[in-house]
Homo-oligomer: A and B are copies of this chain.
């Protein structure tokens, strides 16, 4: 089956007790599948997850589904039917190549404007080759996200803890990073705290401790970061989820941007200042993240 492989899912066809088979259908890769009235496209009004598929194994699918549910709650979307999503994931998995790295995207949209129903789909694409990012590292600049540290608690309507489809700012920040000669960016608050990348979580080793910014309401809980922290803990290295200032980030011994598909990319330059790759943990992270994980 050619990629992208796409399943259109009907969220309303599967209630809690119903059979979920037959509530999704494959559509040809190049065929139009969405109406222009879709609120996902009109308003970026929906949520998503991107899951890695490595050699036929769907990585951490339950963690991603759990986050999809949290995003739906924050955005007041219908609760995703996890039996239906699991069935669609399994069905898609049988249709796509059993080797190599793929990216599986789940989308839940508020549906067609004035329409009765949410819409949903799953699509599988080849993953971009991330070998260079994983082994040679990435250059990163920090960019002001415009929000202060306490904003999420004060203004939950900013949806900061949800993985919404409204990513225009994230994409603009990546363009700004490239304009500055970098590969990626780390968002910081207007009052100097480290947040996250536009499509990744930040892990920094500070005084021997692997630290990630506390997943407050302002920061998306990273599935890959959580998986990696579990791995680091098992190997008896100290980890911490806590507030991190820009100055602390700048003083870190090593920094990684971690995400589901690119995995752990070591930072080799932060705001123009070179940073050495710590090869041993970097290689270990990649090996672990490429191994089958549930």
Binding site for B on A (CB under 8 A): 4, 6, 8, 27, 30-46, 48, 75-76, 105, 107, 109-110, 113, 121, 123, 125, 143-148, 151, 154-159, 162, 164-173, 175-176, 190
Contacts and interface: CB of A to CB of B under 8 A. Distances in A.
A117 B13 CA distance: 34
Nearest to A6: B36
Contact of A37 (B35, B40, B123, B145): B123
Given A34-B38, A145-B158, 12 more contacts: A30-B35, A33-B34, A34-B36, A34-B41, A40-B41, A41-B165, A43-B171, A44-B165, A45-B171, A46-B168, A113-B125, A166-B168
A42 B32 contact: no
What is the copy number of this chain in the assembly?
2
A31 B112 CA distance: 12
A123 B114 CA distance: 14
Contacts of A157: 143, 169, 172-173, 175-176
Contact of A168 (B32, B75, B176): B75
A165 B43 contact: yes
Contacts of A125: 37, 113
A35 B41 contact: no
Contacts of A148: 146, 148, 190
B105 A43 contact: no
A34 B107 CA distance: 15
Contacts of A172: 75-76, 157-159
Contacts of A162: 168
A170 B45 CA distance: 10
Contacts of A34: 32-36, 38, 41
Contacts of A121: 36
A105 B145 CA distance: 30
A154 B158 contact: no
24 contacts: A32-B33, A33-B34, A33-B36, A34-B34, A34-B36, A36-B121, A37-B125, A38-B41, A39-B171, A40-B41, A41-B46, A42-B48, A42-B167, A44-B168, A45-B167, A45-B171, A76-B172, A113-B125, A146-B146, A147-B147, A148-B148, A148-B190, A159-B168, A162-B168
